[in-house]
């Protein structure tokens, strides 16, 4: 099933939208413009809106931060129903809240990473990234040994085996900065930093201007240029409202440290998939957490420290 | 017998796991007799847990080995202490043995006295599930980092029960260099054009 097929689904939002659009286009192009035609057009457009009641709900939906628990229940129900109608998959939308006093951070051992991209693939499955087009939250840069030259990093490499001799690998994903440039530039406040340090996007509030993508110095964000197409049997039904629920064309998305997993105490999917054990994750505010123990014993660095973004994503060598 | 030299060591599995992160279990982890552990018929469980906190367990090894226990064959054989190329059995192992290349051979790590146990550098016997003690007797820096969860893979929960992968969970002990593997497919450029 492709995204375009989904649009044709009877009663779906895409259907109502396209009817409304067609009606308005006809209206504009009409050579015999008259009040009657105009009213007819409005009637069609109005019917289209009325036909897709869910779409109207969505249209008047408030920003995530303004939603009451009651609103959330309605919104989650609507999303579950829409997803069911669109893909046939029964999903569960949840909204795990930040844990008290927890500050998430991530670390990556560059002496172990061999560029196998298992992390990126596991992330795609966990977070319902589309089969087509194929983009990934985690971009693994292949660089010449002895350099950490991000600008010359190659992430489309496709050798038979990794690691290639003379190459080093550096995975980059959202760094969940303490001072994120992406948030400052968002004109509508559709992206913000949660109390536990996770930078999230409200996909229903994002207008798709991509200012955040231009502002991010780490290429941490991805844009749905096309309607994302995902095979129903690959959809992860455990979905977080602010993380891995299905997105649509025209919105920005990114790594959320798998908040639907991590806020329930589990590790992110990328960490569990890494065959070399290069990835570390934990709570910065807990002095006995793995990440703190590592930070106290190893020399770490962050990317583009001079920009003052204060990433929560550390790299180290052992 | 080298194994006799290392008796009454405080380095037992319980002791090591206590270091991993459970202060509570430190109290119960006293001086265990390594030989007493080795004499058990079943490999000891490497799970440390306490009522107070979450458990940290190490993935077991012995039950994953298709030919374990080794004694099912070796009890009928007399150990041959001569370092040699194996031509009848373990020929694959023999071929792929790339560990400290010329120096290593079977009885450097496997116990001659009890073939179902491993022998660490100072002579203690440890179970196959405690292989990290054997590896760490040479690679002390890695064992230190592994105990702190800096080296190695930890699964489960960052807050809650954890499962640690032992050295042999990732490294082939006979050829420990991590092999080159096939990468997952590359992403597409955002334009939809394939990279060249």
Residues A114 and A41 placed together within one structural domain of the fold? no
Q: What does the pLDDT read at residue A1?
A: 38
Closest C-alpha to A80, from A94, A63, A66, A70? A94
pLDDT beyond 70 at A257: yes
**Of the candidate ranges A65-74, A215-224, B105-114, B175-184, the one whose mean pLDDT is the lowest:** B105-114
A159 and A279 in a single domain? The answer is yes
Which residue is closest to B163 within chain A, CA to CA?
A272
Residue A167 shares a structural domain with residue A245: yes
Q: Are residues A213 and A304 in the same domain?
A: yes
> Distance between CA atoms of A182 and A198, rounded to whole angstroms?
13
- A117/A50 same-domain check: no
Average pLDDT value for chain A: 86
pLDDT at position B24 is 38
- Chain B residues touching residue A120 (CB < 8 angstroms): 184, 187
The pLDDT tens digits of the residues spanning A294-312 come to 999 999 999 999 999 999 9
A77 assigned to some structural domain: no
Q: Which B residues 141-180 touch A at CB under 8 Å?
A: 145, 148-160, 165, 170, 178, 180
Q: Give A280 to chain B, closest Cα distance, Å.
A: 8
Higher-confidence position of B83 and A182: A182
In a domain, A181, yes or no: yes
ipTM field: 0.76
Examine the fold and report which residue of A60, A77, A96 is the final residue of a domain before the chain moves on.
A60
In Å, the largest CA–CA distance within chain A is: 78
User: Is residue B18's pLDDT more than 60?
Assistant: no
- Per the document, the length of chain B is 196
| pLDDT at position B38 | 38
Q: Chain A partners of B152 at a C-beta cutoff of 8 Å?
A: 277
Mean of per-residue pLDDT scores for chain B:
73
- Same domain for A30 and A166? no
A92 strand-pairing partners: A238
pLDDT for the residue numbered A296:
94
Count of domains for chain A: 2
Angstrom distance (rounded) from CA A195 to CA B44: 43
Tell me, yes or no, whether A111 and A49 share the same domain.
Answer: no
Report whether A111 contacts A318 (CB < 8 A): yes
Residue reference for tokens 């290069």: A278
Distance to chain B for A225, nearest Cα, Å: 8
pLDDT exceeds 70 at position B161: yes
* The three-state (H, E, C) secondary structure of B147-189, written as one string: HCCCCCCEEEECCCCEEECCHHHHCECCECCCCCECCCCCCCC
Secondary structure of residue B115 in the 3-state scheme:
coil
The most confident of A30-39, A209-218, B42-51, B66-75, by mean pLDDT: A209-218
Residue A154 sits in the same domain as residue A283: yes
| A135:B190 CB<8 A | yes
* Other Cβ atoms within 10 Å of A197 Cβ, number: 19
Nearest chain A Cα distance for residue B34, angstroms: 29
Question: What is the bridge-based pairing of β-strands A104-109 and A313-316?
Answer: parallel
The confidence score (pLDDT) of residue A31 equals: 45
Task: Classify residue A74: in a domain, yes or no.
Answer: no
What per-residue confidence (pLDDT) applies to A83?
Answer: 92
Contacts of B185 (CB under 8 A, 6+ apart): A117, A134, A158
pLDDT > 90 in chain A, percent: 73
Q: Does B183 touch chain A (CB under 8 A)?
A: yes
Identify the band that residue B52 occupies on the pLDDT scale cut at 50, 70 and 90: low
pLDDT at A73: 93
pLDDT > 70? residue A50: no
- From chain A, the residues in CB contact with B149 under 8 A are 280, 290, 293-294
pLDDT of A77: 93
Q: Where are the alpha helices (DSSP H) in chain B?
A: 2-5, 13-21, 23-26, 34-39, 71-74, 91-96, 106-109, 131-138, 140-147, 167-170
B31-35, B60-64, B139-143: which range is least confident on average? B31-35
Residue A84: is its pLDDT beyond 80? Answer: yes
Kindly list the residues from chain B whose CB atom is less than 8 angstroms away from the CB atom of residue A298: 150
A208 belongs to a structural domain: yes
Question: What confidence category does residue A55 fall into, taking pLDDT thresholds of 50, 70 and 90?
Answer: low
Q: Which of A28, A44, A60 is the last residue of a domain?
A: A60
Region A273-298: what's the mean pLDDT? 94
Tell whether the model's pLDDT for residue B86 goes beyond 90: no
Cα A164 off chain centre by: 30
Considering the domain architecture, whether residues A9 and A121 belong to the same structural domain is answered as: no
Provide, rounded to the nearest whole percent, the portion of chain B with pLDDT above 90. 28
| Identity of the highest mean pLDDT range in A49-63, A293-307, B70-84 | A293-307
**A75 within a domain of the structure (yes/no):** no
Residues A114, A39 within the same domain: no
One domain, residues A33 and A108: no
> Is A42 within the bounds of a domain?
yes
Maximum average pLDDT range among A11-25, A142-156, A196-210, B64-78:
A196-210
Q: Closest chain A residue to B183 measured between Cα atoms?
A: A116
Flag whether pLDDT at B62 surpasses 70: yes
Q: What is the mean pLDDT of residues A109-120?
A: 95
Contacts of A117 in chain B (CB under 8 A): 183-186
Structure-model confidence comparison of residues B84 and A186, the more confident one: A186
User: What's the CATH number where A183 sits?
Assistant: 3.30.70.20
Comparison of pLDDT for A309 and B13, the residue scoring more: A309
Is residue A73 in some structural domain? no
Confirm whether A93 is domain-assigned: no
The domain containing residue A39 runs over which residues?
Answer: 1-60
Return the pLDDT at A154: 92
pLDDT in tens, A165-219: 999 999 999 999 999 999 999 999 999 999 999 999 999 999 999 999 999 999 9
> Which residue of chain B has the CA closest to A158?
B186
């Amino acid at each position: 099933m492709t995204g375009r097929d989904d649009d044709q689904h009877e009663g779906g939002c895409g259907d109502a939208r396209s009817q409304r659009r067609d009606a308005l286009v006809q209206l504009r192009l009409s050579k015999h413009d008259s009040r009657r035609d105009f009213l007819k057009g409005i009637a069609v457009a109005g019917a289209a809106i009325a036909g897709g009641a869910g779409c109207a709900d969505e249209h008047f939906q408030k920003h995530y931060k303004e939603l009451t628990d009651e609103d959330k229940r309605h919104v989650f129900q609507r999303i579950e129903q829409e997803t069911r109608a669109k893909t046939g998959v029964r999903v569960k939308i949840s909204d795990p809240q930040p844990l008290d006093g927890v500050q998430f951070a991530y670390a990556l051992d560059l002496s172990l990473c061999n560029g196998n991209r298992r992390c990126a693939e596991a992330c795609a499955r966990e977070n319902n990234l589309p089969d087509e087009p194929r983009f990934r939250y985690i971009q693994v840069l292949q660089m010449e040994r002895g350099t950490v030259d991000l600008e010359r990093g190659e992430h489309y490499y496709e050798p038979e085996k990794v690691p290639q001799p003379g190459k080093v690998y550096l995975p980059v994903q959202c760094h969940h900065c303490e001072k994120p440039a992406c948030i400052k530039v968002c004109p509508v406040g559709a992206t913000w930093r949660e109390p536990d340090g996770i930078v999230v996007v409200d996909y229903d509030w994002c207008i798709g201007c991509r200012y955040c993508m231009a502002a991010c110095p780490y290429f941490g964000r991805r844009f749905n240029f096309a309607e994302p197409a995902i095979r129903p049997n690959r959809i992860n039904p455990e979905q977080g409202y602010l993380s891995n629920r299905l997105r649509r064309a025209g919105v920005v998305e990114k790594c959320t440290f798998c908040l639907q997993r991590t806020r329930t105490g589990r590790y992110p999917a990328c960490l569990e998939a890494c065959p070399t054990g290069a990835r570390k994750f934990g709570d910065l505010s807990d002095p006995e957490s793995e990440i703190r123990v590592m930070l106290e014993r190893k020399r770490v660095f962050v990317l583009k420290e001079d920009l003052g973004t204060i990433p929560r994503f550390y790299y180290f060598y052992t | 017998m080298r194994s006799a030299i290392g008796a009454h060591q405080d380095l037992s599995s319980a002791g090591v796991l206590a270091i991993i992160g459970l202060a509570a279990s430190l109290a119960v982890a006293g001086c265990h007799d390594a030989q007493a552990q080795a004499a058990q018929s079943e490999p000891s469980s490497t799970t440390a847990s306490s009522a107070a906190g979450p458990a940290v367990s190490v993935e077991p090894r012995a039950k994953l080995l298709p030919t374990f226990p080794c004694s099912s064959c070796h009890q009928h054989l007399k150990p041959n202490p001569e370092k040699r190329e194996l031509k009848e059995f373990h020929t694959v192992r023999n071929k792929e043995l790339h560990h400290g290349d010329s120096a290593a051979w079977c009885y450097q790590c496997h116990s001659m006295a009890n073939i179902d146990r491993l022998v660490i550098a100072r002579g203690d016997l440890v179970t196959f599930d405690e292989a990290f003690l054997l590896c760490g007797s040479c690679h002390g820096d890695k064992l230190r980092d592994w105990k702190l969860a800096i080296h190695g893979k930890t699964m489960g929960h960052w807050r809650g029960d954890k499962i640690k992968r032992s050295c042999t969970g990732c490294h082939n002990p006979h050829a420990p260099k991590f092999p080159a593997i096939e990468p997952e497919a590359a992403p597409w450029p955002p334009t939809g054009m394939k990279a060249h």
